Structures are given as C-alpha cells and as structure tokens.
C-alpha cells in the first residue's frame, strides 16, 4: 500500500468544513446508507446519543509491531509505543534508539479533516500528526519535543533527546483547589544521568506564530519593583527639598538686590559696594556651596546606586527576573 494511503496526505489538507453538531459527510458510504435507511429504533442505536456507537468517520491507525493500542469507535486513542513524531520511521523510536518509550493519548485524529478512506476508496491509516490532531497528551522518554510541536526557541531553547510531556488542544485549563506551581531546575541531573549545568526559566509566549525570541522580555519582580519605586519616590522628595532650599537662599539674594541703595559722595564717581548686599550674597554663596551643591552631588550618587541596585541584573534586588520571560 502506498505511503499516501497510510497517511492520507491529500485528506489532511482539505479545506476544513464549518463545525456541525453531527457531521457524517465523510462517514463510510456503506455505513451511512445503512444508517439512513434503518428503522428509527435501529438508527437510535447508531446515533451516538447516550453513549451509543456512532457511524462518524474514524481513521485507522498506522500501528507498529511494538505498539499497544487502546481505542474506541469515537476516535479516542491511547498508544503505548516509542517516540514517534509522524511515520514509524520518525522520532527516536523510528531511529531504533533505546530508552525512547512513549505514551500518546489523542482524541480526534485528523480533526476536521477526518475521513476513513481517500478519494480512491483506499483505507486511510493515520500517523500521529502533532499539528492537526484535535487534542493530545504526549509523554516521551526521549524526544525533540519543541521541534515536534513547532515551538519557538524563546530563551529556554529547544530540547534535544530529552524526556518531555506536551499538551496540545484548542483550549487548555489547569484548575487547582490548592495552588499551582511551575517549577524548573529542581534536580541536579536529567533523565539521562547528565549533570544539569544551568538554570533554565519559564517563557510565557502569546501569539507564537507572530513572535520571535527577540520579543521576549524578563518578567518584573513585584516586591523588588515596589521597593524600587518607593526608594525612587524618596529620591524625588530629596530632590524637591534640595531645589526648595536653593529657592530660599536665592530669595534672600533677590530681596537684597531689590532693597539695596547706592550712596555716592562724589558726583560721577563709582559707588561703593552695598554692605548689606555683600553680606547677603556672601552668606547665600556659602549656603549654596555647603548645602545645596553638596546635596546635589549626594543625590546624584544615590541615583546611581538606585540604578545599580534595581536596574542591573547583577544584583538580587533587580526588578527583572533572571530566568522567566514573557511577550
């Protein structure tokens, strides 16, 4: 039998039909004719209502000799086999690797493209299809899981020949009556016994089809951010006090300039400096130098320290997560 009859390549890429509550369009023609012509009571027994069997199309599975397959007549499957992305020659199981066991739980093989026979009437034996099948839980002892599901690299990177679990469906919900933890880097060795040399974080990637790894940014640490903003608020308050002090000192000078008088004993001769203005200017300059300018220098140093503490990835107080990113 040809490869296309096993995989149903043409059937996979037909334009999907609008969703219907009951879709028997691609059912086996003989079963469909018998169903249409059957008496009402017999038709009910094949209607799928109340858990009864249905004549909906279900493709056959391209089974390998080592596979243990559990399935029903409604396109639900559990396959105990070896790592396999698609055809029996794919994945590490197809390459003959040991330690490559896999469990593939899938519902809705071929999804909206489902049919039992191709255009020539040949039986379709479907392979796993991580792109099209409706919903899947895949557990593998050894796989290139990111490649199988066409996932972006992110900052985590692509796993190679690693044990993995993947879930895929139109919608996924994780519901806990307690808490939910996403944990990485717990063990010192992986399933192959190799030493884990680095901590790998968590990528939260929305709209993966339109994202690149460069779009990922570190998540913000909430407590550190609150500390950073609180300290920055204090810095702004300090700056306000510095400027206010400068205004007070400068006001003294301005008042002296407005109120001082020129006294001249000789017509046309130069006036002597105002004694009162001289004293006030001298005092203001000393205050500007000893307090305002010093405060500005200190404020600048504090600002640089703030930037180092919270904006540099070197320190633990950084507001950015060292491992976890999101789009």
Buried b (16+ CB within 10 A) or exposed e, 240-276: eebeeebeebeeebeebeeeeeeeeeeeeeeeeebee
Sheet of strand 76-82, all strands in order from the earlier edge strand to the far edge: 68-71, 76-82, 101-107, 135-143, 162-168
pLDDT at 13 over 70: no
pLDDT (0 to 100) of residue 2? 44
Q: Which residue has the higher pLDDT, 166 or 257?
A: 166
Residue pair 300/308 in contact (Cβ under 8 Å)? The answer is no
Q: What is the pLDDT of residues 93-111, one digit of tens each?
A: 999 999 999 999 999 999 9
Residue pair 113/13 in contact (Cβ under 8 Å)? The answer is yes
pLDDT at 165 over 80: yes
In this structure, what token pair is assigned to residue 255? Answer: 């008042």
Distance of CA 172 to the CA centre of its chain: 14
pLDDT at 83 over 90: yes
pLDDT band at 163 (very low <50, low <70, confident <90, very high): very high
Segment 177-187 mean pLDDT: 86
Question: Which one, of 33, 129, 150, lies nearest residue 86 by Cα?
Answer: 129
Question: 92 CB contacts (<8 Å, ≥6 apart)?
Answer: 82, 83, 100, 140, 142, 143, 161
Domain boundaries, the chain: 3-203, 222-326
Beta-bridged to residue 139, according to DSSP, are 103, 165
pLDDT band at 67 (very low <50, low <70, confident <90, very high): very high
């Amino acid at each position: 039998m040809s490869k296309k009859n096993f995989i149903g390549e043409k059937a996979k890429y037909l334009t999907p039909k609008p969703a219907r509550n009951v879709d028997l369009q691609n059912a086996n023609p003989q079963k469909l004719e018998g169903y249409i012509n059957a008496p009402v009571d017999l038709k009910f027994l094949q209607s799928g209502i109340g858990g009864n069997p249905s004549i909906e199309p279900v493709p056959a599975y391209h089974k390998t000799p080592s596979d243990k397959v559990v399935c029903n007549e409604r396109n639900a499957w559990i396959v105990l086999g070896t790592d396999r992305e698609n055809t029996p020659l794919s994945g590490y199981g197809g390459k003959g690797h040991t330690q490559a066991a896999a469990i593939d739980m899938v519902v809705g093989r071929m999804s909206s493209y489902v049919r039992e026979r191709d255009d020539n009437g040949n039986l379709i034996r479907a392979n796993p299809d991580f792109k099209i099948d409706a919903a899947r839980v895949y557990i593998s002892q050894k796989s290139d899981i990111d490649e199988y599901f066409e996932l972006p690299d992110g900052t985590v990177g692509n796993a190679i020949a690693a044990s993995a679990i993947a879930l895929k469906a139109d919608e996924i919900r994780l519901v806990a009556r307690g808490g939910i933890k996403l944990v990485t880097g717990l063990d010192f060795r992986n399933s192959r016994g190799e030493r884990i040399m680095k901590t790998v974080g968590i990528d939260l990637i929305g709209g993966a089809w339109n994202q690149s790894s460069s779009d990922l940014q570190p998540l913000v640490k909430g407590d550190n951010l609150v500390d950073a903003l609180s300290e920055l608020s204090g810095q702004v308050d300090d700056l306000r006090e510095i400027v206010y002090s400068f205004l007070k000192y400068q006001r003294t000078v301005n008042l002296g300039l407005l109120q001082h008088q020129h006294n001249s004993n000789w017509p046309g001769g130069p006036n002597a400096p105002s004694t009162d203005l001289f004293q006030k200017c001298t005092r203001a300059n000393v205050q500007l130098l000893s307090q305002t300018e010093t405060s500005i220098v200190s404020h600048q140093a504090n600002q640089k320290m703030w930037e180092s503490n919270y904006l540099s990835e070197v320190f633990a107080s950084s507001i950015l997560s060292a491992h976890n990113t999101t789009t």
